[in-house]
Amino acid sequence: MRITFLILLLNSLFFTQVASAVSEEVKLKGALLKAMKTHDTQIVKAIANGGYESIDRDDVLQERIYEYLDAERQRAIAAKEKAKADALAKEEVKEKARVDTINAQKAAKEKAKTDAIAKEKAAAVAITAKKVAEEKKKKDAIAAKKRAKQNAAAKEKAKKDAIAKEQAHKKATADKKKRDAIAAKKAKEKKVQQAKAAEKKRKQAVAAKKKAPKKQVKAKKATPKKIATPKKVATPKVAPKIVVVPVAVAAAPLTVSDKKLVGRWKQVSSEKVITLVIKKDTSFSLEQVEDDGTLTILGTWKSEENIFMLSIKKVQRNVHTRDTDIHRIYKVERLSKHRLVLRDKRNRVAYDLKR
């Protein structure tokens, strides 16, 4: 009974060892396959070279280990080549970046240099333009001042000329009135003297008739014309009729002469200076200079009897110009070699021009 128990115990220990050995082998192969799967080459090499009998006798597993290790070697070579290629690519990228940086820096320096030169040129051009503008402004100011001075001088001269002309005209008118008054007085005195002489003759004739009636009769028969002579001398009423004749002539309608119209006419006052230029080709220009600027009118003209007509085509006020089509009609009140007086539709004096 005791022997049987010992045999059973030994069998049990043997089977336990066998089972244990089988279990270890399974674990070892499992670890090897797991290491292959996870590419843990170090563990694969340790198991493959560990001297495990179950591993060494398994030809299939040995083939797999060989293929794995060969694949791992190839993979390691490929990885090394790839790392080398990546390193070279990285180095190339780095070199390219370095070259690009250098080129960019050079380009930036060149651009900065170009921009600086352009800026200097622009500054020089701006300074030159500013100087030119200032010089032009200065010249324009001097020219404007000169023109203003010339205009003021011309206006003052025209004013003085107008005053002198007006004074001369007034003096001439006063002298004419004085001469006419003296002539009228002399004519009146002469008329009175003639009347007195005629009255004296008449009285003498009457007295002579009373003193010698017979002789007077004979004289009347012999010379009848001599008796009629005192009556003609005693009629000084003929002279006033001569004075009336010029008045009738002045009342006749005025006929405008184009020849007298053509030329330069001027009207000067304290407020403005008007210059009217009438040309033979039927064109005209009218310039009106005032304190606030100059008005210029251009167009054509024509005349008919005592009517003077203007067709205005262009009007300019200082620097502003516009085209137009306006017709103005004036009545010529007076036209002589030195004076032209025009009245508008309301019978007001529009222009009193002289030359």
Domains of the chain with bracketed CATH: 258-354 (2.40.128.280)
Report the pLDDT value the prediction gives residue 246, as an integer from 0 to 100: 39
Residue 243 confidence (pLDDT) above 50: no
For residues 309 and 307, give the distance between their C-alpha atoms in angstroms, rounded to a whole number.
Answer: 6
- Is 351 strand, coil or helix? strand
Report the pLDDT value the prediction gives residue 312, as an integer from 0 to 100: 95
- CA dist 202 to 53, 219, 225, 230, 313, Å? 203, 16, 15, 7, 75
End-to-end CA gap in the chain: 179
The predicted-structure confidence for 53-69, as pLDDT tens digits, reads as follows: 888 888 888 888 889 89
The predicted-structure confidence for 107-146, as pLDDT tens digits, reads as follows: 999 999 999 999 999 999 999 899 998 989 989 999 888 8
For 235-260, what is the mean pLDDT? 52
Q: 154 pLDDT band (50/70/90 cuts)?
A: confident
Report the pLDDT value the prediction gives residue 174, as an integer from 0 to 100: 81
Q: What is the C-alpha R_g of the chain? A: 70
Residues in CB range of 202: below 8 A, 6 or more apart: 230, 234
The pairing of strands 283-290 and 263-268 is unpaired
What one-character DSSP code corresponds to residue 315? E
Q: Is the CB of residue 187 less than 8 Å from the CB of residue 242?
A: no
Residue 261 confidence (pLDDT) above 50: yes
- CA nearest 268: which of 284, 293, 294, 289? 289
Phi, psi of 220 (to 5 degrees): -65, -40
Report the pLDDT value the prediction gives residue 165, as an integer from 0 to 100: 81
Q: Is the CB of residue 307 less than 8 Å from the CB of residue 320?
A: no
Residue 49 confidence (pLDDT) above 90: no
